[in-house]
Amino acid sequence: MGNDRIVFSESMKLADLIEMNWKLLNVLSRFGIGLGFGENTINEVCQRQGIDVRSFLLICCIYTYEDYIPSSEMLAEADPLTIVDYLQNSHSFYMDKEFNSLEKNITAMVASCDQMQKKIVARFFTDYKAHVANHFSYEENVVFPYVRALVAGKTHEGYTIEQFEENHSDIDEALSDLKNIVMKYLPDTCDTVLRNEVLYRIFRLEEDLAKHTVLEDGVLIPIVNRIEGESSDR
C-alpha cells in the first residue's frame, strides 16, 4: 500500500471493523477484547480496555493491507508499550494455541503414512517450533524488557535495538519446508481433507507471522530508534 491513509477511525463501530476484515478477530483476542461489544465504537472499546487507540488502529492497518507503511507521524503517536504487549500476547497465542492445534492436525494427517514419513514430518515441525521458541524467548527476555526500561527513562549500557535488528530472522519463512513436504511429497494415502486442513493452517500461520515480523521491523524498531536518539540528546 505504501501510504498512511487510515480507512479505520476511532469513531467506527468495532463490529464494522470486523466486517471489513474478519482476520482481525485474532488481533482482538491478543488485545484481550472479547466479543459481545454491541454497537460500541473502536474508541469506546479501547478506552474500556485501557488500550491506546492509535496503536490499535495502526496494528489493524498492518494486518489488513499488504505492504502497509506507517508514516513517521503515526509512529510518533503509537505507544511502544502497547506494541510490546501485543507482540508478547501474540507469542502466547502461537505457542500455547496455534502450534498445539497444528501439531494435532499433523498427527492425524500422517496416521496412514509409514514410520519414516512420520518421523520426517515430526522432525521438521519440532525443529521449527524450537526455532520459534528461541526467537520468542530472546525477545521476551532481552528486547521487550529493554524497550520497557527505555520508555521508563532507564539506560541500558551495551545494548541497542540495532543489535536486535541485525540478528532478526523471519520466522514465517522457515515454514516453507514443512509446507512443501505436506503439499508435494507425502503419499496420496494421506487423508485429503486432513491434508488440506493442515495446509490451510500453515498458510494462515505463515501470513500471520509475516505480519508479526512487519510489526517488529516496521513499527517497533523505528519507534525504539527514535526514543534512543532522544535519550542520547539529553
pLDDT of residue 67: 82
Q: Which is nearest to 207 in space by CA: 180, 165, 170?
A: 170
> How would you write 37-97 as a 3-class SS string?
CCCCEHHHHHHHHCCCHHHHHHHHHHHHCCCCCCCHHHHHHCCHHHHHHHHHHHHHHHHHH
| Dihedral Cα 169, 173, 177, 183, nearest 10 deg | 160
pLDDT of residue 222: 95
Distance CA 218, CA 75 (A): 9
Any idea where the domains of the chain sit in the sequence?
14-74, 79-233
Determine the distance from the C-alpha atom of residue 145 to the mean position of all C-alpha atoms in its chain, rounded to a whole number: 18
Neighbours of 27 (CB within 10 A): 23
**Beta-bridge partners for 13:** 41
47-56, 148-157, 161-170, 178-187: which is most confident = 47-56
Angle at 117 between CA 111 and CA 119, to 5 degrees: 90
More confident residue, 4 or 152: 152
**CB 33 within 8 Å of CB 53:** no
Q: Look at residue 233 and tell me whether its pLDDT is greater than 60.
A: no
List pLDDT tens digits, range 164-202: 888 777 676 778 888 988 999 888 888 899 999 999 999
- Provide the mean pLDDT of the chain: 90
User: Which residues does 142 contact at the CB level (< 8 Å), separation at least 6?
Assistant: 159, 164
**Mean pLDDT value across residues 136-165:** 90
List pLDDT tens digits, range 94-130: 999 999 999 999 999 999 888 998 998 999 899 999 9
Sign of CA dihedral 202, 208, 212, 217: positive
Q: Read off the pTM.
A: 0.90
| Dihedral Cα 167, 168, 171, 172, nearest 10 deg | -130
